[in-house]
Chain A
Amino acid sequence: MSKCRTYLCKAVLKEHFGDLAEKICLYMINKGCCHLRQIASETELPLDKVRKVLTALIQQNVIKFEKTKRGVVEYFVDIDVLLWRHRIPKFIHCAKSLYGDAAELLVEDIVYHGQIMMSKAVDNVTSKLNEALENAGHQKIGSSIVHDKFSLLAGSHFIRQCINGMETSEEELDERDQSTLYRVPPLHSTGKRKRSIDDSEQPAKRQKTDAPGDDGIYWKINSRRFHQYFRDQMFIKAISNRIDKRASTILQTMLRLSEVKTDDLCFTTQPLSFTEIFQAIPLDAGITRNLCEQYLTLMVDDSTNLVSKIGESGGGMFVVNIMKGLTSLCKAHLESVVQERFGSKSLRIFKVLLLKEHLEQKQIEEMAMIPSKEAKELLYNMFAQKFVSVTEISKTADHAPARTFYFFRVHMDQLARNILENCYKALANAMVKREAETIEHQ
């Protein structure tokens, strides 16, 4: 765990869960898996407090637990989930823009509670909505509307069922079980419940009349799906910048078609035939068959390599290259960083190095058409800040500097990782500063 990442975790914990949670989690992040007594003794906090924090955070999906072979329960912090918490407003906004107000409130409720049963969530949201509607003087709505939105969200995989950590663990799910994660129980079911893997034992005992029908099935948001959605949005925006809006509509259609079919970690989507794409385009976009063909050709030719044609069957088979698209976008962001940090001339040098891999000092100057002295200064500045790296190849065995080739190059992966760390740190700095300012000016 890098230093900057830990720093950011600290800031997020402090903001969302308080000092107590911050202390405990920081210890757990540094140690890895720990058991309860260990945490209590090392952090010198009362055991009850530790218990309370662990319970709260498990509920919020930040901490996970596992029973080891010896029977000891070990807890560990899921750092990714913790860091994704600062995207929560984006998740809520996404739900609103896709499915409306009811969905927004549903997601808000689910995120607030971490894990919640469908019936409870639906009830909460219905009462909130009705309150607002009453105040505005409109009629009340029934909870079935909210239940429909819930099903919509589950159908597009934005929310999913939680796995009971006491019984199974995440890795034990196989393909068939994955689909059950998104099955929404009916709204007011009483009596018998279907036995799914997420149900706990003793169904007979808990058949009280006031227990909700879907007792034991908890739901949480599926961050990965939201990330997939954000990623798609980025692609659409990029194409819209590069070509125009209609091309981005076509790309949006393509991505929508492969949304639930493709795993979000694939390099490319499933191939889509031209006819499929064309039929799925919304009619009000006003795109004719000819236009569609042309835009697809343009997208295939574009240097971002987002779309490629892999065959001719069905009028042309197209795939969206996720990996290549992400690489181009990443490159664009890195170039933006270089431009804003060092200036446009440095950007030129940077791009020359990106395109031509290894270059000597003199060659860089010539290609970028920048005077020698200035080029040297800019290049060495970037080198000092680790944006550019050097490979030495010596002609002689004694590595004399005068008889050595110094090749400059840009190491994309390394640079991307560095910038990511910088982003973590900058975000944490902003949060800390905000806290400091709010306290000062209260």
Chain B
Amino acid sequence: MAGRGRGRGKTVSFDVQALGFGRGEALPAANFQPPPLFPTQEFKPIPLDQNEDNAYLLALKQEFVAAIRKSPYYLKLDDRKRDIERYSDKYQLSSTDSSEAFEPDWRRLPSELKIKKRKNRKVSAIKPNLVARKKNAVKTEPDIDEKEIAKTLESLEKREETGVVDGEEMIGVKIEQEDDDDDENKAGGDDDNEEDIEGEYYDEDDLEEETDYAFNYFDNGEAYGDDDGDDDEGPVY
């Protein structure tokens, strides 16, 4: 076949004339630079259709988006991280969160989605807490044997030391995984230990950094009953 790697001739396998270059005509200028990032646009966009209806639609949309941003359906990824817990936070935060609390109809939703209000206080870094709650866990999951509990305790201790977020969830998850029963509904039992949906989300990190003074001193709202209060808290001064 002509031009197949024979020397560096200009023979190509297709008809060059068909490309539009006549014989011997100048080829288009060679490009020495990368093409521009935003080449000039040959055809500009046609103007937007601006009439009354569209203006009204725009207003509707802006209203709607503003409304849902404030609604309970709009959820932020992280709550505002507080570097130092401030006195005013208690008053400021609670005001925004209590607006339009959204209570779904639980008859129409799987029960695993329910977040039960916690009666207990948050876990802190002290061991006795674990033991106390372990008892709670044991009550609801009678089929776990002692060995597993001990194992869990150890791993939890390790985790606590490294400052893992949301140790409670880990307990719940661990127990779940050790269960043979894969029924999700059983996870309802863990709800006792979980966070309250109302009220602010406290990151574990924050808690562990603080002293317990502020925590003990201020009441966090309706859900945090003081039934077992002092048992879970840190050293009593």
Say if the two chains contact directly (CB < 8 Å): yes
- Report the bound CA distance from A283 to B109 in whole Å: 51
B110: which A residues are within 8 A, CB to CB?
A: 65, 67, 73, 166
Given known A36-B113, A93-B56, A114-B73, contact A15–B65 (CB-CB < 8 A): yes
Q: Which of B45, B73, B109, B201 neighbours the largest number of chain A CB atoms within 10 Å of its CB? A: B73
B54 to chain A, nearest CB (A): 10
Say whether A23 contacts B77, CB under 8 Å.
Answer: yes
A16-B65 CB under 8 A given contacts A73-B184, A89-B60: yes
Contact A73 B112 (CB under 8 A): yes
One digit per residue, 1 when the CB lies within 8 angstroms of any chain B CB and 0 when it does not, for chain A 16-46 equals: 1111110100000000000111001100001
Q: Shortest CB–CB separation between residue A264 and chain B, in angstroms?
A: 23
Contacts of A70 in B (CB 8 A): 182
Closest B residue to A66 by beta carbon equals B110
Q: Are B104 and A59 in contact (CB under 8 A)?
A: yes
Asked if A16 contacts B74 (CB within 8 A), the reply is yes
Is A340 interfacial (CB-CB < 8 Å)?
yes
Among the listed A48, A89, A112, A218, which residue makes an inter-chain contact with B115, where contact means beta carbons less than 8 Å apart?
A: A48
Q: Check if A55 sits within 8 Å of B105, measured CB to CB.
A: no
**Chain B positions 191-232 with a Cβ under 8 Å from a chain A Cβ:** 194-195, 197, 201
Q: How large, as a class, is the contact surface on chain B?
A: 35 or more
Interface size class of A (residues with CB under 8 A): 35 or more
A172 to chain B, nearest CB (A): 16
Contacts of B73 in A (CB 8 A): 17, 56-57, 59-60, 114
How far apart are the CA atoms of A111 and B71 in the complex, in Å? Answer: 12
The answer on a CB contact under 8 Å between B67 and A112 is yes
Kindly state the separation between the CA atoms of A218 and B109 in the bound complex, as whole angstroms. 13
B75:A49 contact, CB within 8 angstroms: yes
A37:B173 contact, CB within 8 angstroms: yes
Contact, CB under 8 Å: B115 / A51 = yes
Contact in complex: A20, B68 (CB < 8 Å): no
Given A47-B194, A73-B112: A340 and B65 interface contact (C-beta under 8 Å): no
**Is B172 an interface position by the 8 A CB rule?**
yes
| A108 on interface, CB distance cutoff 8 Å | yes
Residues of B within 8 A of A164 (CB): 107-108
Distance in angstroms between the alpha carbons of A35 and B115 in the assembled complex: 16
Complex CA gap A35/B110 in Å reads: 11
Per-position contact with A for B67-86: 1 when CB-CB < 8 Å, else 0? 11001111111000000000
Q: Is A216 engaged at the interface, CB distance under 8 Å to the other chain?
A: yes
Complex Cα distance, B170 from A90, in Å, reads 46
A165 proximal to B (CB < 8 A): yes
B57 within 8 A of partner (CB): yes
| Contact of A343 with B43 in the complex, beta carbons under 8 Å | yes
Are B75 and A17 closer than 8 Å at their CB atoms?
A: yes
Which residues 23-73 of B have a CB within 8 angstroms of A?
43, 45-46, 53, 56-58, 60-61, 64-65, 67-68, 71-73
B56, closest chain A residue (CB): A93
Whether B107 and A166, one on each chain, are in contact in the complex, defined by CB atoms closer than 8 angstroms, is yes
Which residues on the B side are within 8 Å of A48 (C-beta)?
A: 115, 169, 194-195, 197
Q: Among A56, A65, A108, A402, which residue has its beta carbon within 8 angstroms of that of B72?
A: A56
A169 vs B186: C-alpha distance in the bound complex, in angstroms?
A: 24
Q: Kindly state whether residue A9 has any CB partner on chain B within 8 Å.
A: no
Q: How far is it, in angstroms, between the C-alpha of A233 and the C-alpha of B201 when the chains are bound?
A: 49
Which residues on A sit within 8 Å (CB–CB) of B182?
A: 70, 72
Interface flags for A49-84 (1: CB within 8 Å of B; 0: not) read: 101111111111000010100111100000000000
Whether the pair B43, A93 counts as a contact (CB closer than 8 A) is no
Q: Which residues of B lie under 8 Å from residue A201 when comparing CB positions?
A: 107
Q: Does A376 contact B (CB under 8 A)?
A: yes
B74 and A166 contacting across the interface, CB-CB below 8 Å: no
**B108–A89 touching, CB < 8 Å:** no
Query: Which of B75, B77, B172, B176 has the largest count of A CB atoms less than 10 A from its CB?
Result: B75
Please indicate the chain B residues that have their CB under 8 angstroms from the CB of A15 in the complex.
65
- By beta carbon, the residue of chain B nearest A398 is B1
Per-residue interface assignment for chain A, residues 338 to 367, with 1 indicating a CB less than 8 Å from any chain B CB and 0 otherwise: 001111000000000000000000000000
Verify if B5 is at the interface (C-beta below 8 Å from A).
Answer: no
A180 at the interface (CB under 8 A from B): no
Are A340 and B75 in contact, with the CB atoms below 8 A?
no
Q: List 16 A-B contacts (CB under 8 A).
A: A16-B65, A19-B76, A21-B75, A37-B184, A41-B173, A52-B115, A57-B73, A65-B110, A73-B184, A88-B64, A112-B71, A166-B107, A166-B110, A376-B19, A400-B13, A401-B15
Having A112-B71, A114-B73, one finds 18 other A-B pairs with CB under 8 Å, namely: A17-B68, A17-B74, A20-B75, A46-B165, A46-B166, A46-B169, A48-B197, A52-B197, A55-B113, A58-B104, A73-B112, A93-B57, A112-B64, A166-B110, A216-B107, A373-B20, A377-B20, A402-B15
**Lowest 4 CB-CB distances: which A-B pairs, in order?**
A19-B77, A89-B60, A401-B14, A89-B61
